[in-house]
Amino acid sequence: FLAIDISKQTGQTSVLQECYRGLSVIYAQTNDFENALRFRKQYTHLKDSLFTIDGSKNFNEMQSRFDAEKKEREIELLSKNKELQELENIKKEVQLKKQKVINFAIVAGLALMLSLTFFVFRIYRQKHKANLLLESAYGEIGKKNELITDSIDAARSIQEALLRHQSTIKKL
């Protein structure tokens, strides 16, 4: 059983497993069922051990892959959340800038309206003063017109009286 000893020393379990299986078959064919059963049990035990070890390795590998994928998904999710947060911050900044522009436009519009109102009111007051001066001037012109008309009427009366008087003198 040199192959079994070498396989055990070198740690080649798959060769050792095949040695146990081969010896089990040989002993079974030579009707040495006791040794056939013993090597069959060793083969089965080694096979189960290897299966368990392989299963554990596979499970550990699958667990490692699962954990790695889970971490990758978490990292992706965190980076997407960060991108969304950055986009929301940019959106808020844009909205603030828009609001500032709107506020500035409103203030500028109000200032323009106040200036315009001030100038319109000033023009109205100047026009009102001019109208008062014109009314006063028209009143004085009207009084002077009356005086002139009265003077003309008086002069005409005097002239008519003189002319009547002259014509009476001529008749006489």
If we measure between CA atoms, which residue out of 17, 67, 72 comes closest to residue 43?
A: 17
Model confidence over 100-146: pLDDT tens digits?
999 999 999 999 999 999 999 999 999 999 999 999 999 999 999 99
Pairwise CA distance, residues 95 & 28, whole Å: 87
Pairwise CA distance, residues 114 & 108, whole Å: 10
Model confidence over 9-68: pLDDT tens digits?
888 888 888 899 899 999 999 999 999 999 999 999 988 887 777 777 877 888 899 999
pLDDT value at 4 more than 90 = no
pTM of the complete model: 0.41
Q: What is the largest CA-CA distance in the chain?
A: 202
